[in-house]
Copies of this chain bind each other. A is one copy, B any other.
């Protein structure tokens, strides 16, 4: 079996919904399992399920974009991972990232590049969405896959005044599932080639 860990922080539940749909897309891939981890459980290097991350074949990083970068609880996990960095324990695992914000750009690319740079410090291999953009021509709509138009990782948009039951909308949830499927397939391939 190929195991993928999703480490994420969610302030109000929207990012958690995205994480769950990514996990759904991963679990639908034969031979691949997904497990969700809250960043809050991994905020110090000496507590939390670090051994499970070490055992995983890939780690997907997710957080809301707050004030232009990954939320502070996610960053606490990232800093705590420096113990893993010293030993390069995650080297050559696959990595990917996702982020949610209320605004369409909302500086979400800043969070994704932050994750890609972080993964590179760990010696990980980075996979993006592998999707063409939707919602970018007169026949497109917000119901398109990849409606935000992102490549380095998954971007979703959740209205500021709507609960996680409604936002992000269905198209983003479906995009998250396809993203999970893509990362699952890339991880299987990368593991098989070892």
Q: Is the CB of B88 within 8 A of A132?
A: yes
**Copies in the assembly, this chain:** 4
Stretch at the interface among A12-20, A23-31, A156-164, A171-179: A156-164
Given A114-B114, A132-B88, A189-B190, are A72 and B67 also a contact pair (CB < 8 Å)?
Answer: no
Min CB distance, A192 to chain B, in Å? 4
Listed residue (A79, A117, A128, A148) with the most chain B CB atoms within 10 angstroms of its CB: A117
Name A115's closest neighbour in chain B (CB-CB).
B68
Q: Fill in one digit per residue for A119-135: 1 if any B CB lies within 8 Å of its CB, else 0.
A: 01101111111111101
Q: Is the CB of B110 within 8 A of A108?
A: no
Q: CB within 8 A of A82: which of B67, B79, B152?
A: B67
Q: Is the CB of B67 within 8 A of A81?
A: yes
Is there a chain B Cβ closer than 8 Å to A85's Cβ? yes
| Top-3 shortest CB links A-B | A103-B149, A193-B193, A120-B128
- Can you report 22 A-B residue pairs in the complex whose CB atoms are below 8 A from each other? A67-B78, A69-B70, A69-B78, A69-B118, A72-B76, A92-B130, A104-B136, A104-B147, A104-B149, A105-B155, A106-B149, A107-B109, A113-B113, A123-B129, A125-B186, A126-B126, A126-B128, A136-B160, A137-B160, A190-B190, A191-B193, A192-B192
Question: A116-B116, A138-B162 known; 14 other A-B pairs, CB under 8 Å?
Answer: A67-B118, A67-B121, A69-B70, A70-B75, A88-B132, A104-B133, A105-B149, A107-B109, A107-B121, A114-B114, A117-B151, A120-B152, A137-B161, A189-B193
